[in-house]
Amino acid sequence: MGTMRKPGLYLLAITLGALALASCAHESADWKSASAADTTEAYQQFLQQHPASAQAQQAQARIKQLAEVRDWQVATSADTRAAYESFVAQHADSQWAQEARIRIENFAQNAATATASNKSASATPAVSKPAVAQPSAQKVVARASTQRASAQGQAPAQGRFVQLGAFRSKTRAESEWKQLSAKFPAQLHSLKPRYVAGKSKAGHTYRLEVEMSSAADARGLCATLKKHSLACVPVTA
């Protein structure tokens, strides 16, 4: 009786083994398909079909990364304080969170400056004065920029600067410039980077900036880089 059962047990073992191999092959094919598509929907479908897969954790991590990329594109396209605040609330540990916080602070500072200027203008009484020739607004701005640069021992800044990111160390900023200039040689090859130390609520930062010949060139560079979800903000010198 025992001898008769052995062939049946062997057959069952072979059948189970074949099913296991087929399942593994199917899972492997599904993972290759999801990786090739590289979309949130593809990874979610894989997890539904293979929740206990060894690649499940990797699929979940990729879904999170894709969500960050999508939400950062939305925030930079809107380019508003509310959009960046929403991004930080959802992705506090994102690689773009620091840049988002800096942009939020910039919006807050600009709003405070505008409010102070409006209050000052409304509080100043109109006084009739003899007509005196006044320099143009452009000359006043240029003179102030020259005086500030001279006081700092620097040459007067020309054109506009573009901020390509803010980082916790100069080394990190330099590394980012090497990567960007290698990836976008046509746009960045002729530009020279500068690393501006600063401080924000998030701590000490180093802003990576490049000088542009005009405001139009600054906007053009940012338009190109933002298509690739990269940080780019025109700033005054």
pLDDT per position as a tens digit, 18-49: 666 666 778 888 898 998 999 999 999 999 98
Range scoring the smallest mean pLDDT among 52-56, 182-186, 207-211, 232-236: 232-236
Please check whether residue 237 lies inside any domain of the structure.
yes
| Residue 123 confidence class, pLDDT cut points 50, 70, 90 | low
Both 163 and 234 in one domain: the answer is yes
Report the mean per-residue pLDDT for the chain.
77
Both 99 and 25 in one domain: the answer is yes
| Residue 157 confidence class, pLDDT cut points 50, 70, 90 | very low
Paired with 73 in beta bridges are none
- Give residue 36's pLDDT: 92
Please check whether residue 119 lies inside any domain of the structure.
no
Please check whether residue 93 lies inside any domain of the structure.
yes
Please check whether residue 3 lies inside any domain of the structure.
no
- Give residue 114's pLDDT: 60
- For a pLDDT cut of 70, what percent of the chain falls above it? 67
Burial 130-164 (b: 16+ CB within 10 A, else e): eeeeeeeeeeeeeeeeeeeeeeeeeeeeeebbbbb
Q: Which of 71, 90, 109 is at the close of a domain?
A: 109
Both 96 and 164 in one domain: the answer is no
User: Which residues form the domain of 187?
Assistant: 158-237
d(CA 80, CA 98): 16
Please check whether residue 10 lies inside any domain of the structure.
no
Both 25 and 97 in one domain: the answer is yes
| Residue 172 confidence class, pLDDT cut points 50, 70, 90 | confident
**233 CB burial (10 A radius; 0-12, 13-18, 19+):** buried
How many C-beta atoms lie closer than 10 Å to residue 170's C-beta?
Answer: 13
Both 102 and 164 in one domain: the answer is no
Range scoring the smallest mean pLDDT among 13-22, 101-110, 121-130, 194-203: 121-130
Q: Which of 109, 143, 168 is at the close of a domain?
A: 109
SS (H, E, C) 75-97: HHHHCCHHHHHHHHHHCCCCCCH
**Does the pLDDT value for residue 146 go beyond 50?**
no
Provide the domain count of the chain. Answer: 2
Please check whether residue 34 lies inside any domain of the structure.
yes
**Does the pLDDT value for residue 136 go beyond 50?**
no
Please check whether residue 146 lies inside any domain of the structure.
no
pTM of the model: 0.47
Please check whether residue 211 lies inside any domain of the structure.
yes
**40 CB burial (10 A radius; 0-12, 13-18, 19+):** middle
pLDDT per position as a tens digit, 52-88: 888 899 999 999 989 989 999 899 888 888 998 999 9
